Amino acid sequence: MIITFGTQKGGTGKTTLAIAFANYVAMSSERKVNVFDFDFQKSFYHKWKEDELLEIPKLYDVEIIDEENEQPFSDFEHLIEMKESEDVNVFDL
Ligand SMILES: Nc1ncnc2c1ncn2[C@@H]1O[C@H](COP(=O)(O)OP(=O)(O)OP(=O)(O)O)[C@@H](O)[C@H]1O
Ligand SMILES: [Mg+2]
């Protein structure tokens, strides 16, 4: 499945909610969580990197999606695979 956090308005709590949601699902479910950070500010990614300094287990990976790294979304079939997958794919827009 794909769960997207998005609104046109900035600063409304998308990233904060996406982090809380990803942490919750990773800790309370058997499903694999994958996070894709589409924000040019890379807020989710930076927060996740900060957590690496703490001695806590890593719950999931965060991938940056920008002009240089858009491979997972360059073909529609891959997107459909993500949608139909058992994994929880979190998009932070
Ligand atoms: N439920 C909440 N209550 C109070 N403050 C919040 C809440 N959710 C987020 N904030 C604060 O609001 C600010 C913006 O939150 P956040 O970065 O999650 O928004 P965003 O929608 O991802 O922003 P952007 O559009 O820049 O990506 C942050 O300082 C965050 O700490
Ligand atoms: Mg954000």
9-53 per-position pLDDT tens digit: 999 999 999 999 999 999 999 999 999 999 999 999 999 999 988
Q: Shortest CA distance to 29 belongs to which of 84, 87, 77, 72?
A: 87
In the structure, what pLDDT confidence band is assigned to residue 73 with cuts at 50, 70 and 90? confident
Overall average pLDDT of the 45-67 stretch = 91
Higher-confidence position of 5 and 51: 5
The pLDDT of residue 71: 65
Domain ranges of the chain: 2-92
11 CA distance to ligand 2 middle (Å): 7
Could you say which architecture CATH assigns to the domain 2-92? Answer: 3-Layer(aba) Sandwich (3.40)
E-state strands within the chain: 2-5, 33-37, 61-64, 88-92
19 CA to middle of ligand 2, Å? 10
Confidence category of residue 68, pLDDT binned at 50, 70, 90: confident
